Structure 1
Amino acid sequence: MASRRERLRAQGLRPVQHWVPDLRDPKVLADIRREAAMLSRHPEDAVIDEWLDTVRDPADWS
């Protein structure tokens, strides 16, 4: 692993630690579902969805 890290550093990269929600935790899932439900009831939800459909390009996702 050390040699791989050195090769990556030689390429100008550096390690970065990312913390993400633990989707195995029921409390985290409940919070995400609660927040998603609140967002879906936002008065401008349809307008925001329409804008996202306009500006996003799924071809860029791969």
Structure 2
Amino acid sequence: MTTAHVNMRVKKHRDALRAAGLRPIQIWVPDTRRPDFVEECRRQCLVVRNDPQEKEVMDWLEAAADKDGWV
């Protein structure tokens, strides 16, 4: 399969998505494969561990969460 053929298939697929009213976005997320990922998660958890506002937010999220159908 040639690169031109693949590019045309991708373009056709993207055009169909746009025609359906969708648009592409780019999203950057933490790289969980990095060796320092776990350490950084731990550091951030410790920063908010005893923060009253964090507890308030987490309590609100728990109350507001729609968990119907989730296991």
TM-score normalised over the length of structure 2: 0.63
Aligned counterpart for 2:41 among listed residues 32, 54, 60 = 32
1:16 aligns to what?
25
Identity %: 36
- Alignment partner of 1:41 is 2:50: yes
Relative CO higher for 1 or 2, CA cutoff 8 Å, sep ≥ 6? Answer: 1
Unmatched segments (≥5 aa) in structure 2 = 1-9
AA matched with 2:30: P
Aligned counterpart for 2:16 among listed residues 3, 7, 31 = 7
Closer/same/farther in 2, CA of residues 14 and 41 from structure 1, 3 Å limit? same
Q: CA RMSD, aligned part only? A: 2.3
AA matched with 2:47: M
The count of aligned residue pairs is 61
Which one has a bigger Cα radius of gyration? 2
Quote the Cα distance in structure 2 between the aligned partners of 1:40 and 1:18. 28
1:59 aligns to what?
68
